[in-house]
Amino acid sequence: MNIVFVLAPLSLALGAGAVVAFLWTLRAGQYEDVRGAAERILIDDEDGPGL
C-alpha cells in the first residue's frame, strides 16, 4: 500500500509535466499557423539551411 505514496506524486508530477509542456507549445506559437505547418512539409528547400 505504501507504494501509493510514491506512485501518486510521481503520476501527479508527470501530469504537471504534460501541462507545462502544453503551455510551452502554446507560448512558442505552435498553434498560430496550423494549416501552414501542414503545407510546409511539402516544400522542397533545395536552397534552405544546409544541415
Partner 1 sequence: MAVTYDAASGADFSAFLAKGKDGRASLDLLVRGARCAGCLGKIERAVGELPGVESARLNLTSGKLSVGFAGPTGDPAAVIAALDKLGYPATPYDPGQAQIAHDREGRRLILALAVAAFGAMNTMMFSVPLWAGLFGQELGPATKQVMMWLSGAVGAPCAIYAGMPFFQSAWRSLKGGRANMDVPISIGVILTLVISFSETFLNGRDAYFDAAVMLLFLLLVGRWLDHVLRGKARSAAADLLAMQAPTATRLDGEGRERAIPLADVRPGDRLRVRPGERIPVDGVLEDGRSEIDNSLLTGESAPETVAPGDACRAGALNLSGLLTLRAGARSDDSALAAIARLVEAGAQNRSRYVRLADRAAALYVPVVHTVAALTFAGGWALGLGPREAMIRAVAVLIVTCPCALGLAVPAVQVAASSRLFRRGVLVKSGAALERLAEVEHVVFDKTGVLTEGRPELIEADPAVVARVAPLARASRHPLARAVARAAGEGPTASEIIEHAGHGVEGLVDGRRARLGRAAFVGAPTLKQGETELWFGVEGETPVRLRFADRLRADAAGTVAALKARGLTVEILSGDLAGAVGEAAAAVGVSDWRAGLTPEEKAEAVDRLSANRKVLMIGDGLNDAAALARAHAAIAPGSALEASQNAADLVLSGQELGAVVEALDVARSARRRALENFGFAAVYNLLAAPAAMLGFVNPFVAAIAMSGSSLVVTLNALRVGGRR
| Interface with partner 1 (CB under 8 A) | 1, 4, 8, 11-12, 15-16, 18-19, 22-23, 26, 32-36, 39-43
- Decide: 31 and 25 in contact? Cβ < 8 Å: yes
Nearer to partner 1, 14 or 51 (CB): 14
Nearer to partner 1, 41 or 51 (CB): 41
Tell me if 14 sits within 8 A of 20, measured CB to CB: no
Nearer CB in complex with partner 1: 19/51: 19
Residue carrying the nine cell digits 544541415: 51
